[in-house]
Chain A
Amino acid sequence: MLRLPAFQLLRPATVAEATRMLAELGPEAAPLAGGTDLLPKMKRRQLQPRYLVSLRGLRELRGWSGSPEQGLVLRAGCTLAEVAAQPAVRSAYRALAQAVAVCSNPILHRMGTLGGNLCLDTRCNYYDQTEHWREAVGWCMKAPGPHSPQEVPCRVAPGGGRCWAVSAGDGAPALIALGAKVRLVGARGERVLPLEDLYRDDGIRYLDKSPDELVVEVLLPPADGLRSTYRKVRRRGSLDFAALGVAAAVRQDPDGTVASCRLVLGGVASRPLVLEEAASLVVGRRLEGEVLEQVSQAVHRAVHPMDNTDFTVLYRRRTAPVHVRRALEALAS
């Protein structure tokens, strides 16, 4: 039996109490929501917090409000199944509905939360292994075992001086494409920031927030004619993380001319990759023929995956433009 290491379980009654606990306990504490990412990582000793602050009982983190016309607020404790079933998400924010529907599998949908999905740990073939496996290869920078991170190289790019673990969540690319913001609450107050600014291009410090800050809400802007879609490449039709995630959102004039476009990839970098150049190419034009070819070329130039997830690097680099193109074609028709 693969068992959890010992820890103390704290059960705050409010978000304010949770953030106070996290601030007082510092880096030795971790928030526990659905547990579908954190607990397996603790069993494999990738993460070993001494305190878990359970968010499961916090009513403040449940439910949603608003509408596609006013903008939708999804609280972070919603399960992925609740988000996927939410009528406004299904009708007006399709990329999000599709992304959470293909995230993991139906059992984990009911356990995992929206906030947990956005804070998903980065992934790597050298990191997501048992303790014995990682010890046998000499550990890695992200989980250096008995060493300090400076003493152990990244096993993917040993000379690079940084960790290349990959952001593989499905919710983040979709929500960034939809223009979502997040509300963070910490012991010293709260702030709202565009979701893309939550992420850093670093496999170890992949979230730009302090340990006591919790993602409490996702704020979606009014849908206002936005059409969106999400595609996912993975080995199996269930469970697997994204080897590639593609989120696309466009606003079109009645004649099909694109007024605005957002393209975001998951599974190719340490943070969701916003494709600004590729997206700008379609603005003022229709989603067809030569434009899509130019987009494909721009995507190919922008995507540089490392050899640390499922599938070969060559396949992942070549498949990204194909799936961006298919996403845009789906939105054009």
Chain B
Amino acid sequence: MERVVRLRVNGQEHRVLVPPHRTLLEVLREDLGLVGTKHGCELGECGICTVLVDGEPALSCLLLAQELEGHEVTTVEGLATDGQLHPVQQAFVDSGALQCGYCTPAMVLVTKALLDRVPEPSGEQVREAVAGVFCRCTGYVKILEAVQAAARRLRETGRPSGCGS
């Protein structure tokens, strides 16, 4: 049955009329116009559609929008503040950690979630954190460098990486 769902996305509340079978990915892209969240396999395999739900990575292609009331969703659009890129985004730019860029929103979000929990991650922790997102350009080395660069930047500036939410 269709019902109006109150979704909190990037700190803003949206009221959306959705049927039960509509996924968060579809609502974000098609109802809210937040196309920064990309669609890949849509079967929970590639990780491209990753968003943060209550600060933790989750696959928006496998979440039912009706089940997300009361949770805080963060997409890549929620990271920059006042036209300033989030330090994680800036680190990806500075490190050249993208080729086609399709996996970048997901990579940036899993990085943010990791650094919120672990400010000084080991190489192994970084590899594990990004293991759920596939980069088909296979540009992983630059991505791993960007995560460590973001970690350094956040430690040096002391800027909380929770901004924008």
Q: Chain A interface (Cβ within 8 Å of chain B)? A: 1-9, 35-36, 39-40, 43-44, 52, 54, 56, 105-108, 110-111, 237-239
Among B8-16, B79-87, B126-134, the stretch that binds chain A is: B126-134
The 4 A-B residue pairs whose C-beta atoms are closest, nearest first, are A107-B132, A9-B20, A105-B132, A4-B21
A-B contact count (CB 8 A): 74
Say yes or no: is B116 at the interface (Cβ < 8 Å to chain A).
no
Partner among B22, B45, B62, B67 whose Cβ is within 8 Å of the Cβ of A56: B67
Say yes or no: is B141 at the interface (Cβ < 8 Å to chain A).
no
Residues of B within 8 A of A5 (CB): 21
Residues of B within 8 A of A111 (CB): 58-59, 62
CA distance A9 to B64 in the complex (A): 10
- 12 A-B residue pairings within 8 Å (CB atoms): A2-B43, A4-B21, A4-B23, A6-B20, A36-B44, A39-B62, A106-B132, A107-B50, A111-B58, A111-B59, A237-B131, A238-B131
Residues of A within 8 A of B128 (CB): 106
CB neighbors of A among B122-158 (8 A): 128-129, 131-133
Say yes or no: is B160 at the interface (Cβ < 8 Å to chain A).
no
Interface centre among B21, B50, B133, by most A CB within 10 Å? B21
> Contact at B43–A7, with CB atoms within 8 Å?
no
Residues of A within 8 A of B64 (CB): 9, 35
18 new A-B contacts, CB < 8 A, other than A2-B42, A39-B62, are A1-B42, A6-B19, A6-B20, A6-B21, A9-B64, A9-B66, A35-B64, A36-B59, A36-B62, A40-B44, A40-B62, A54-B67, A105-B131, A106-B128, A107-B58, A107-B59, A108-B44, A110-B58
